[in-house]
Amino acid sequence: MEKLSFGEQLSLLRKRKGLKQGELADKARILREMISNYESGKITPRAETLKKIAAALEVDFEELNSYILQEQEEKPKDEPQIMYRHDGNKLQYIETISDVVTLPVLGKVHAGDPNLISEQEIIDLIKLPRRIGRSADYALEVSGMSMIEAGINRGDTVIVKVQEDADNGDIVIARVGENYTIKRLKKNEKGEIWLEPANSDYKAIKGKNFEIVGIITYMIKRFK
């Protein structure tokens, strides 16, 4: 009998609890699209995210993690990536990256008024050095222009770490109702918090219930 994959095990455990994918994601406080991608085998969660899923399912973290470890042992190793940069008319060697992680680009997040993440499926995969990728769970492509004064433009890709809280001034992914947005989190001495754009043409999001679902750790610029 073939072993069940991690994704298949996760799906089985979820169904035993009588949970839909979105319900499990809400209990684990992660993006709803991520459960679908985990169960389909497109990506696997980081340890921190897996702990949240295990707690939501009321199962042992080590048991869940063992399925991932078994799959990693059976997968072929990634080929090394060699990084160069242009130096005049020549390519100058920078480094060879043999320890890489693959992050999914889950869809687009609107830098403007809150909007649905436009894609339910992975729209791209990016490979990053582990020293960068270990502080991230997924990536999102930016649409909209409300964060241009923070250097984040339409078409850029932001690297996101799943996190429920953030410090004053952090750039975050926030859920407002069923929609998502990228903004800077602001707090004052009165304990008030709000989401502030980095573009004077847009208004801050105040007086609304929202929740932080991740913080931006890195950004990949789009150059034309």
**Residues with catalytic function:** 146, 183
b/e 140-179 (16+ beta carbons within 10 angstroms → b) = bbbbbbbbbebebebebbbbbbbbeebeeebbbbbbbeee
CA distance 37 to 42: 5
CB atoms within 10 A of CB 138: 27
| CA dist., res. 73 & res. 208, Å (int) | 46
Are 134 and 123 spatial neighbours (Cβ–Cβ below 8 Å)?
A: no
Q: Could you write out the three-class secondary structure of 35-67? A: HHHHHCCCCCCCHHHHHHHHHHHCCCHHHHHHH
**Pairing assessment for the beta strands 81-87 and 90-97 based on DSSP bridges:** antiparallel
- Compute, in degrees rounded to 10, the torsion defined by CA atoms 181, 187, 193, 195: -20
- Residue listed under structure tokens 């990053």: 128
Q: Distance (Å, rounded) from C-alpha 127 to C-alpha 212?
A: 25
CB neighbour list of residue 2: distance below 8 Å, 6 or more residues apart: none
